[in-house]
Amino acid sequence: MEETRKLVYAMLKFLKRQLSEGKLSGECAEGVEVGIQCLEAAYNLRDSEPSLEVPTGLQEIFQQYLAACESYFSGMPLSEDSADASPEASFDVSFESKAAADTLKNEGNSHMSSLNFKEAVICYTKAIQLDPKNAVYYCNRAAASNKLGNYESAIQDCKTALKYDPSYSKAHGRLGLAYASLNQHEEAVKHYKRAVDLEPDNDTYKSNLKHAEEAFNSAPSTSVPYQNVDLATIFTNPNLLSVASQMLGNPSMQSMMSNILSRNLNQEGGGIDALFQASQQLAQHMETENPALVEQLRRHLGGEQQGPQNRPPGPPPGPQGDF
């Protein structure tokens, strides 16, 4: 209550100074006088209250505030195109915020090692909020998003990381993986090449580039190789069902399937084409995560006729760094 009375007292001093300087017309001055009397009565204030005095007058405080706002917002983007830069361009991140963000990054890395990809995304997101220009945090979140099948999110995070660090090879590598998972092999090749240029001794990038180039150069098949499949044989095979059940019971796989299906089926057009694209992405992710299961499926689906050397390559497992 005492702080409130100080504020009202400062307001009264300002209004009384306005009256004494003659800046108000007759009717306005009369209204202000009535207002002063009402405020003094409501807050039990006398004309002079030394205990409520503040070192700076209300008008001066307001002017200082306006000057500070003008100085702060002078570095803010004005166009819609640069709106995503937000306040980060106008101030430096404090040492404390950087330290807290790095702790969150390490926590996210631990979740990645434990395959808790959703929790990792949460940690990296909090780190980004504290240090929004750190390319590593965006790139690590992209790695977690790739694991969850959120490839569009991974692409956006990699692009943001490259905005802050154009020579960040891991961002190019993870961007290549996301594009490959979406069957956008031309873009995948482009970014894998850039990753190799930046780290010419990195064998993983070279291998990923080779896979992407093979996928890009291979013509899409128009045949229907499994039209005579005996589904009863598949669903009565206890070993195959056990492996499939274990894999599909994995929370990360369930989340990835949900993300892929909802993303494709909610696209404009939808229908069978979207479902086919979703199944392709799911198959590619399964081949990356559990190639043994995929090989069993191929054998049961007549895949013996297509040897491993003749199969079109799926997306390679992208490099996971920084953790």
Calpha distance 76→89 (Å, rounded): 7
46: pLDDT confidence band, cut at 50, 70 and 90?
confident
Q: Is 230 contained in some domain?
A: no
For residue 197, the enclosing domain spans 96-218
Answer whether 148's CB lies under 8 Å from 255's CB.
yes
Compare 69 and 203 and report the one with higher pLDDT.
Answer: 203
Q: Is 157 contained in some domain?
A: yes
Q: Is 192 contained in some domain?
A: yes
Domain shared by 2 and 113, yes or no: no
318: pLDDT confidence band, cut at 50, 70 and 90?
very low
Q: What is the pTM of this model?
A: 0.49
Domain shared by 100 and 213, yes or no: yes
- Mention every residue, 6+ apart, whose C-beta is less than 8 A from residue 87: 76
Domain shared by 116 and 38, yes or no: no
- What pLDDT score does 297 carry? 64
pLDDT tens digits, 191-246: 999 999 999 999 999 999 999 999 888 845 444 444 454 555 555 666 666 666 66
Q: Is 32 contained in some domain?
A: yes
User: Which of 194, 218, 242 marks a domain boundary?
Assistant: 218
Domain shared by 202 and 103, yes or no: yes
Number of independent structural domains in the chain:
2
Answer whether 81's CB lies under 8 Å from 163's CB.
no
* Range from 36-40, 183-187, 260-264 carrying the lowest mean pLDDT: 260-264
Tokens of 132: 């929004």
pLDDT tens digits, 277-313: 556 666 666 666 666 666 666 665 554 444 444 444 4
Q: Is 38 contained in some domain?
A: yes
Domain shared by 51 and 112, yes or no: no
Burial class of residue 273, CB neighbours in 10 A (0-12, 13-18, 19+): exposed
Average of pLDDT values for 78-98?
A: 58
